[in-house]
C-alpha cells in the first residue's frame, strides 16, 4: 500500500509542477484537468508524508530502546512515546487504506441530484419531498449548498420530480451512496384506516462535469421551449422559459425550468445532460471492471432498493451494509453513520474481490 501512496504522491508533485508551466495554465482545458487530478491526489500525498514522518519517529524510539548506553528514564520515555506513535501510525494507515480502496476520481466534484416519486402514488411523492428536505438538512450540517434547478409538485403537495445541484467540498464523496431506490413503510396522511403502506422514491446522483470536460454537438440535441408549470410567479408561467432537451444519440431527456430565462435554463439543462452522459460512461466502465473481477459492488442505481425507512419501528436499514439506525435521527439529517456503514461495506466488498482475484491468479 505504501508503494501505491508513494506513486500517487510523486504524481501529485508532478502535477503541482505542471500548474506552474505556462503551457499548462495557458490552456484552459488542460489546466482544469490537471487541477482536478491534483485535487483528487492531495489527501493521499499528505497522508503518505505523514506516515513517513511517523515511521521515522517510531524508528527513532526503537533505536533508543536498543541503545545499551541509554539510561532507564530515557528508555521509559521512548517506550511510552512508541506506544502513542504506533497507535497514530495504525490509525493513519487504516485511513490510507480507505483512500486507496474507496477513492474516486470524482470525489471532489459537485453533484446533480434527482429525486422522483415512484411506486405508491401520492404517498411516494410525499416521501420524495421528505427525502429532499432531509438532504437539505444534511447539506446544512455538512456545509454544502443545495440549489433547486427544477421541481414538479404533485397535487398532494409532494414531489413528482426534482433536480438539484449540491456544491461544496467533497460533495460527490458525501452523496455517492444515495443513488438508488428508497423505500418507506408508514401510515400515509392520506390513509383513513391506519394501514401501513409501502412506497418508493428514487434518487439519482450524478457528478457534475466542468464545461470543458464533455463535448456535446449541437446537431445531437433536440431542444424545445415550453411554458413553465407549477409555482414560480406570473412571469415564469406566462413565458416559454422552460427548456426541454433531448440527446438524440442516447435518448436522454432533461427538463429545466429553474429561472424565468430560457437561455439560462438551456445552459442548466446542458450541464445536467453532460453529467448524465458522464455517469452513463462511468457506469459502463465500472460494469466492465466488475465483470472482470467477478462482481465487486452493487450498482447502486435507481432500480436497486438500497434503503428502507420503517416508521412504525423507528428504523432505517441500509440493505448494502445490512445495518440499521434510529429513523428519527436519520430523517433529521444525521446521515453520517449511514454513509460510514456504506463505506465500510464497500471496503469489505473490494477487499474480498481483491483476495478472490489474487487467489485466482496464484
Q: What is the spatial distance between Cα 4 and Cα 126, in angstroms, rounded to a whole number? A: 47
Q: Which helix (H) or strand (E) holds 325?
A: strand 323-326
Nearest to 154 by CA among 131, 121, 182: 121
The confidence band for 350, taking pLDDT boundaries of 50, 70 and 90, is confident
323: Cβ contacts below 8 Å, ≥ 6 apart: 317, 338, 341
pLDDT digits (tens, 9 = 90+) for 139-150: 999 999 999 988
pLDDT digits (tens, 9 = 90+) for 37-46: 888 888 899 9
The cell 464523496 sits on which residue? 173
Q: What is the C-alpha radius of gyration for the chain, rounded to an integer number of angstroms?
A: 25
Among the ranges given (50-54, 302-306, 329-333), the one the predictor scored with the smallest mean pLDDT: 302-306
pLDDT digits (tens, 9 = 90+) for 76-122: 899 999 999 999 999 999 888 888 888 777 888 899 999 999 988 89
Average pLDDT in the 181-194 region?
86
What pLDDT does 302 receive? Answer: 39
Higher pLDDT, 282 or 126: 126
Nearest to 66 by CA among 78, 55, 54: 78
How far apart, in Å, do the first and last CA atoms of the chain sit?
A: 19
What pLDDT does 236 receive? Answer: 41
Cβ(305)–Cβ(180) under 8 Å?
yes
Nearest to 176 by CA among 126, 130, 109, 224: 109
The confidence band for 297, taking pLDDT boundaries of 50, 70 and 90, is very low
293: Cβ contacts below 8 Å, ≥ 6 apart: 353, 356, 357
Write the CA distances from 310 to 115, 322, 336, integer angstroms.
19, 14, 19
What pLDDT does 296 receive? Answer: 29
What pLDDT does 303 receive? Answer: 47
Q: Which helix (H) or strand (E) holds 166?
A: strand 159-167
- What is the DSSP secondary structure assignment for residue 194, as one 8-state letter? -
Nearest to 256 by CA among 149, 115, 146: 149
- Tell me what the pLDDT averaged over the chain comes to: 86
Amino acid at each position: 500500500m505504501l508503494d501505491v501512496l508513494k506513486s500517487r504522491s510523486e504524481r501529485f508533485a508532478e502535477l503541482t509542477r505542471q500548474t506552474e508551466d505556462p503551457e499548462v495554465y495557458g490552456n484552459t482545458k488542460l489546466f482544469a484537468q490537471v487541477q482536478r487530478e491534483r485535487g483528487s491526489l492531495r489527501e493521499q500525498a499528505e497522508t503518505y508524508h505523514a506516515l513517513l514522518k511517523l515511521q521515522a519517529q517510531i524508528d527513532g524510539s526503537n533505536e533508543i530502546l536498543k541503545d545499551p548506553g541509554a539510561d532507564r528514564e530515557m528508555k521509559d520515555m521512548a517506550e511510552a512515546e512508541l506506544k502513542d506513535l504506533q497507535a497514530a501510525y495504525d490509525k493513519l494507515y487504516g485511513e490510507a487504506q480507505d483512500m486507496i480502496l474507496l477513492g474516486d476520481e470524482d470525489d471532489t466534484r459537485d453533484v446533480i441530484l434527482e429525486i422522483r416519486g415512484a411506486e405508491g402514488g401520492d404517498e411516494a411523492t410525499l416521501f420524495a419531498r421528505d427525502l429532499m428536505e432531509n438532504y437539505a438538512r444534511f447539506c446544512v450540517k455538512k456545509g454544502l449548498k443545495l440549489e433547486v434547478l427544477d421541481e414538479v409538485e404533485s397535487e398532494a403537495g409532494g414531489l413528482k420530480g426534482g433536480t438539484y445541484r449540491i456544491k461544496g467540498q467533497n460533495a460527490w464523496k458525501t452523496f455517492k451512496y444515495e443513488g438508488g431506490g428508497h423505500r418507506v413503510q408508514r401510515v400515509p396522511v392520506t390513509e383513513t384506516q391506519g394501514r401501513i403502506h409501502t412506497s418508493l422514491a428514487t434518487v439519482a446522483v450524478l457528478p457534475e462535469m466542468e464545461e470543458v470536460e464533455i463535448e456535446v454537438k449541437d446537431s445531437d440535441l433536440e431542444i424545445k421551449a415550453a411554458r413553465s408549470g407549477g409555482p414560480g410567479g406570473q412571469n415564469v408561467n406566462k413565458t416559454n422559459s422552460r427548456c426541454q432537451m433531448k440527446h438524440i444519440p442516447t435518448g436522454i431527456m432533461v427538463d429545466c425550468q429553474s429561472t424565468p430565462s430560457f437561455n439560462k435554463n438551456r445552459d442548466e439543462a446542458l450541464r445536467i445532460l453532460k453529467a448524465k452522459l458522464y455517469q452513463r460512461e462511468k457506469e459502463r466502465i465500472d460494469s466492465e471492471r466488475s465483470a472482470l473481477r467477478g462482481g465487486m459492488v452493487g450498482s447502486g442505481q435507481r432500480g436497486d432498493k438500497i434503503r428502507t425507512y420503517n416508521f412504525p419501528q423507528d428504523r432505517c436499514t441500509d440493505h448494502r451494509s445490512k445495518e440499521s439506525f434510529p429513523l428519527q435521527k436519520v430523517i433529521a439529517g444525521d446521515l453520517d453513520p449511514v454513509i460510514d456503514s456504506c463505506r465500510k461495506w464497500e471496503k469489505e466488498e473490494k477487499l474480498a474481490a481483491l483476495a478472490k482475484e489474487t487467489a485466482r491468479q496464484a
